[in-house]
Amino acid sequence: MTPTHTLSLFRGGLAIGLAGLLWLLLNPVEGAEAAFGLSDGVAHALAFYALTLCLFAAAPKHRRSDLAALMIGLAGATEAGQALVGRDPGLRDLTANVAGIMAAYAPGLIERFRHHLRAHPHRSWTEIRADDGRQSARQRTPGAILRRLGARPWTERAKAERAAEGV
């Protein structure tokens, strides 16, 4: 089995997990977590913890912070959706959902902190962030990406062509 096959398994598990979670959360019948011997809050936290970990594994090219924000948005949407199907949406359930997401996200933050402590123990956070591999919004613009790849935006290319023609 290759990493690509494993990635496919995570993506399939994520799809099944999301479908199951949405069915359970938006089903008008409450109390399904009691069948597993769990309280409502613990069931919400465990479900979102597991789905967040699957999402992290299924989308390795995306930042964990973006994926965690997506999951928090999903948690809010499911709570809002519960009001539409006759269930009681609650801040308590939303808090449990976010707690599960953060429980999955926190180890990555801690490991990143540990990495910075080992690699740059005497540098300021500003210096570390400046040298960090993450790109700022300005560096993600299409023109900046093209310049990094060696391509020139059309205006620069047109100027170069005119200069070459002697115009």
Q: Tell me the mean pLDDT in the region 131-135.
A: 63
Q: What is the mean pLDDT of the chain?
A: 81
At residue 140, the pLDDT reads 56
| CA 73/CA 79 separation, integer angstroms | 10
- 1-5, 10-14, 33-37, 93-97, range with the lowest pLDDT: 33-37
11 phi and psi angles, rounded to 5 deg:
-65, -40
Q: What is the percent of the chain where pLDDT is above 90?
A: 30
| CA 17/CA 125 separation, integer angstroms | 38
- 65-69, 71-75, 90-94, 130-134, range with the lowest pLDDT: 130-134
Residue 161 pLDDT level (bands cut at 50, 70, 90) = confident
Q: Tell me the mean pLDDT in the region 77-103.
A: 88
| CA 81/CA 73 separation, integer angstroms | 12
At residue 126, the pLDDT reads 83
Which has more confidence, 155 or 75? 75
CA-nearest of 76, 68, 66 to 52 is 68
pLDDT of residue 164 exceeding 70, the answer is yes
3-state helix, strand, coil in the chain (%, to 5): 75, 0, 25
- What pTM does this model have? 0.69
Q: Tell me the mean pLDDT in the region 22-32.
A: 73
| CA 46/CA 99 separation, integer angstroms | 9
pLDDT, tens digit, for every residue of 61-89? 899 999 999 999 999 998 888 888 777 77
Supply the DSSP symbol for 28. S
Could you tell me how many residues make up the chain? 167
Q: Are 106 and 64 a contacting pair, CB within 8 Å?
A: no
* All structural domains of the chain with their residue ranges: 3-133, 135-167
Q: What is the per-residue DSSP string for 56-81?
A: HHH-TTS-HHHHHHHHHHHHHHHHHH
Q: What are the structure tokens assigned to 25, written together?
A: 């959360």
pLDDT of residue 31 exceeding 70, the answer is no
